[in-house]
Structure 1
């Protein structure tokens, strides 16, 4: 949400996509809507690129001597994959520090080893689809149902705090109010 508050045109584009998908009569976003919400998925993927769920993947131990990209790795070596660094590497990403959901349109930037917020291969996070669905429903509902504004003129502070999952150092504070077109629907919940 902080990234969207710092990028109002992205928030507005997502809202228009959701409104066009849901149509009339208005109803709340559902899991069956998510595959049609391509831009919302781009926003989630770009957010996971900048702030991966786990900045360091689960450690693995090499079972044999091997060479990876010219580096010799002896058997028994503990290996960590730093997704945070990979997702911000300027050799892999154009303008890696910028929030640009469009980089994921039409399936771009998801192939190969560049985008791995849930790991890869047979040890990939088994809850990836559940996580994407839950974030999609939560974020989509917040975008659909409420008008959002920053508390002041300053951009949201995106400084990361310490911890295993990169919490924000400064908590999100924002103004929100129900969208006029959804007040009746929200009052029925």
Structure 2
């Protein structure tokens, strides 16, 4: 038996040499030499992932090919290369891989985030850009964003008076979640003045559980053997999570339906300005396409993490570059003054 183990390094070396030779023959992008059987280049990854990939890119160039278990991954790390992929060859790179999260969280790859490029995806994108996120629609909902920004500023002011430390990442995230959910369903679930405490608690639990449970299934996307070895508990939790998400969003849809009926009957109701209400109006015209499932799928697509993360990074960079912060403050003082907060209409006069 011992002599068999002696062949293992030889087998690994042969595997690496074969992979390397095939890559050159196929004219594929550069790739780290140590491509292990089964695991590929997973052994090179460390947290945080973006720094790990940047380190590898520094050694192999702005475009490189990695093998994450059973999947090949193209890493593009320069602006010009990204433009080549996402602008000039956007249709080629339009699809997402069929990951476990897309199967369950993406309702079998039917949401705008997970749907493959085609008629269905184009229609979802058209609805999103014209009906939900058009300039006119965003202008109608400007008061929502203004309200939430003012609430956050008041909260920060109280913390400042009390000389308490503020976690800006959490502050930005809570604000963005409230903006998004008020645009979607007319409800806020974070901070003060939350109307439905029970619904808010359920929503926050779902939001908290989603990245944790989705993240637990990621390794199975690259090492499917783990699913066969009985590590399917994470996927079962993903299925249960999606049931909770669907149930919660369906309740919001039903509440909006009741509100629209009350308004039509002459009762005092909110204006028809939420995303769900817009989609329900379309459902009245084309019920065969705008099903409740389609509506749930459309309003579940959010950008809260990216928006909050962008603001956090911007604030961090400003604080670490005081001369830039001073220049921005001077421009605001000259054009806006200090008697009011900035409005979205002011942005055109604030080029810096």
TM-score by length of 1: 0.27
Given the two structures, how large is their TM-score scaled by the length of structure 2? 0.17
Structure number with greater CO (CA < 8 Å, separation at least 6) is 1
Compare CA radii of gyration and give the structure with the larger one.
Answer: 2
Higher strand share: 1
Structure number having the greater helix percentage: 2
